């Protein structure tokens, strides 16, 4: 064992053994004298034999291994270790002013170790109105020297001054001291939550706006035109004379009593021209007698901003769409050369488009058709009806703002104004 200890440790051991031997020798001599004293308390002389026997026991003790003494000293040295702070570990803590806060200092050591909190260079006062300390000792059943000491600092109201200096947990014993601090700081701004909220709100607003626009698209566009009519200007390079060219089927033998003739020559002019301010070109009304249909169609379609095609249910009425030169010129100018927007108006429900020309089927598939429902002869022609709103939606901006009140057809154009007004069935615009 001596070979394992340093020279200083050997000197310490020898001094301890010498002092211990001398102390035991004195105690043995004193005890022997007291045992030999009489009743009156007199001391007797101790013989040499008794002293030799007592010293022999001391010599045997001196000759014992030094392992016990060195172990004793090492245990004493290990027993006096410096306490260890487990938590906190020199950290920062976000706090909200005015809130309640509890700071915990967790120390590993013995119960006699000093543990307390310090702030702004001094310990926490016992009767501090805002801060209060509590201590808890948790004993380790296996090793008492490794027990836990918990110092809790309860802050009733977090004040701004507490952010100026850190809170320091201090623990110490005879071997030394340990410290750790907690610095209170203002909360770091959280941009993630507001960003997510704004993104969700924008998504909902955009989704609702798209849905509302899809449902009320026609009404929104017409309201915008009527409200901001003064700010809408027609392009200077337009060079168009007519707002729409009306292309309608011919009905031989029926004269002007057919639904298509009434709609083209009476209803359309009354609503689109008189009430809405559009200018239409209707073949048979605006052309001159003796003019070539091909020349009239070619010239006036180029001067028009829209091409309105009237569709009827009669099978014989479909033939003119693919065979007449007027229709061929109109389709060529509208779809290929001039890029004119085409509007399909169904005066009756057409169940099958297979017999229609490919150009008509293409337009129907692309943007749909606007269907009239009811009797043309008795219908009330208000510009605010769903049918005429859709027609106005596909037309360019009006030349003049519509009247404030709903204008109806004149009595001359209504054969029987007392009859029930027809309902309207609408076809999606595509």
Enzyme catalytic residues: 327
Euclidean distance between CA atoms 176 and 12, whole angstroms: 23
Q: For the chain, first and last CA: distance in Å? A: 102
Q: What residues are paired with 84 via a beta bridge?
A: 108
Cα torsion through 70, 72, 74, 78, rounded to 10: 180
Q: Would you say the C-alpha torsion 392, 394, 400, 401 has a positive or negative sign?
A: positive
Q: Where are the extended beta strands (E) located within 139-243?
A: 147-155, 167-173, 176-185
Cα torsion through 294, 348, 260, 408, rounded to 10: -130
Q: Report whether 288 contacts 282 (CB < 8 A).
A: no
Euclidean distance between CA atoms 430 and 417, whole angstroms: 34
Q: SS3 for 401?
A: coil
Q: What residues are paired with 172 via a beta bridge?
A: 114, 177
Tell me the CB-side half-sphere exposure of residue 175, using CA atoms within 13 A. 14
Q: Report how far apart, in Å, the C-alpha atoms of 149 and of each of 86, 101, 132, 359 are.
A: 10, 20, 17, 91
């Amino acid at each position: 064992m001596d070979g394992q200890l340093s020279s200083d440790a050997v000197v310490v051991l020898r001094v301890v053994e010498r002092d211990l031997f001398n102390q035991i020798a004195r105690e043995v001599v004193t005890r022997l004298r007291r045992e030999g004293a009489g009743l009156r308390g007199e001391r007797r002389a101790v013989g040499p034999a008794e002293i030799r026997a007592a010293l022999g026991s001391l010599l045997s003790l001196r000759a014992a291994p030094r392992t016990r003494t060195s172990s004793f000293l090492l245990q004493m040295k290990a027993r006096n270790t410096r306490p260890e702070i487990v938590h906190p570990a020199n950290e920062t803590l976000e706090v909200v002013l005015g809130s309640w806060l509890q700071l915990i200092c967790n120390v590993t050591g013995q119960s006699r170790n000093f543990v307390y909190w310090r702030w702004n260079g001094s310990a926490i006062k016992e009767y501090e109105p805002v801060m209060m300390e509590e201590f808890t000792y948790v004993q380790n059943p296996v090793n008492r020297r490794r027990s836990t000491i918990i110092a809790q600092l309860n802050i009733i109201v977090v004040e701004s001054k507490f952010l100026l200096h850190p809170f320091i947990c201090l623990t110490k014993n005879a071997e030394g001291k340990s410290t750790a601090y907690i610095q209170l700081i203002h909360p770091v701004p959280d941009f993630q939550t507001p960003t997510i909220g704004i993104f969700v709100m924008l998504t909902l607003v955009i989704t609702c706006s798209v849905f509302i626009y899809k449902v009320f698209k026609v009404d929104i566009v017409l309201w915008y035109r009527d409200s901001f009519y003064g700010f809408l200007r027609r392009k200077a390079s337009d060079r168009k004379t007519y707002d729409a060219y009306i292309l309608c089927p011919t009905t031989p033998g029926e004269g002007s009593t057919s639904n298509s003739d009434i709609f083209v020559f009476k209803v359309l002019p009354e609503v689109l021209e008189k009430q809405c301010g559009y200018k239409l070109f209707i073949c048979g009304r605006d052309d001159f007698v003796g003019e070539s249909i091909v020349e009239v169609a070619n010239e006036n379609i180029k001067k028009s901003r829209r091409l309105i095609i009237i569709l009827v249910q009669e099978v014989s009425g479909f033939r003119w769409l693919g065979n007449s030169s007027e229709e061929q010129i109109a389709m060529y100018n509208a779809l290929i050369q001039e890029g004119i927007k085409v509007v399909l108006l169904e005066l009756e429900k057409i169940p099958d488009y297979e017999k229609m020309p490919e150009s008509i089927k293409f337009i129907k598939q692309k943007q749909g058709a606007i269907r009239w429902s009811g009797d043309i002869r008795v219908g009330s022609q208000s510009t605010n009806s769903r049918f005429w709103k859709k027609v106005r939606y596909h037309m360019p901006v009006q030349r003049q703002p519509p009247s404030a009140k709903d204008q109806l057809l004149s009595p001359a154009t209504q054969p029987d104004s007392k009859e029930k007004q027809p309902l309207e069935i609408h076809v999606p615009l595509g």
